[in-house]
Amino acid sequence: MAAAMRMAELSSKSGVSVASIKLYLREGVLPAGRHTSPNQAFYDDHHLQRLTLIRALREIAGLPLASIRAIAASLDNPETELFDTLRTMQSAIIDVPESAPDDHLRAEARRMVDDVVAERGWKGASPQNPSRSLVEATLARILAVGADPGLSEPLLDAYARAAEVVAGADLAGLRDIAENDRIIEVAVIWTVLGDSLLAGLRGMAHEVVSRRELIAPPEPCDTPNLPADQAAADGG
């Protein structure tokens, strides 16, 4: 652990103003420092990492202070599992759109998700996961504009298979991180910016695959290739 630092040094290293640090201390999103006198406290690497996380939550995820407070409280509660903290973070970040008003479409979207969960063997997929709500709401909107479930289901399964590969890569990157604050920070970055990165790569792949799969090769010429001497004799 680095040597203890005063607030001015903590501010310099974190890029967070002293005024903001004091606000975070008052709001409880930043743990108190080690007091050596009534007006003097020292801070350490944990405080520095927490400020880095707060910056990610504010500047990348755009979360309000109330949501950051909930995530910090989850992190600071020794009885809360890291998995639950990740879910709290996801709930704060994921914006679930309003699903189609038709009850039948909502039920159909829920059935499609249930089928994917069963097909993929996702036994740990919780009904309370905000991402599931996002998938169901999005599917209901897709069905509302007239999409054929018979065409949508294979696409949904393909998306699920790709998502499982991406999730495995995400977690592989977190496995060697020891500090929970750092794990949540990396998860925030890849939840928000990783989605944009994935959308961009998907768009690039669309161009490549469409050229390969959708653009027909030129039709072969009907006239057979003649030997050079015969073509010359024919005046070719």
Give the count of domains, the chain.
2
A 10 A CB-CB count for 1 gives 6
Residue 214 confidence (pLDDT): 76
Residue 41, class by beta-carbon neighbours within 10 Å (0-12 exposed, 13-18 middle, 19+ buried)? middle
Residue 236 domain-assigned (yes or no): no
Per-residue pLDDT of the chain (236 residues; tens, 9 = 90+): 456 899 999 999 999 999 999 999 999 999 999 988 777 899 999 999 999 999 999 999 999 999 999 999 999 999 999 888 988 898 898 887 776 668 888 899 999 999 999 999 998 777 778 888 889 988 888 888 887 877 788 899 999 999 999 989 888 888 889 899 999 999 999 888 998 999 999 999 999 999 888 775 656 655 555 455 554 455 54
Residue 211 confidence (pLDDT): 86
- In CATH, what number is assigned to the domain containing residue 58? 1.10.1660.10
* Domain range for 36: 1-80+177-210
Residue 23 confidence (pLDDT): 96
Residue 236 confidence (pLDDT): 46
Residue 152 confidence (pLDDT): 81
The answer on 75 and 2 residing in a single domain is yes
- Phi and psi at residue 35, to the nearest 5°: -80, 130
Residue with tokens 């065409």: 151
Long-range contacts of 162-167 (CB under 8 A, 24+ apart): 164/120, 166/194, 166/198
How many CA atoms does the CB half-sphere of 181 hold within 13 Å? 19
Residue 221 domain-assigned (yes or no): no
Residue 229 domain-assigned (yes or no): no
Residue 130 confidence (pLDDT): 84
The answer on 118 and 60 residing in a single domain is no
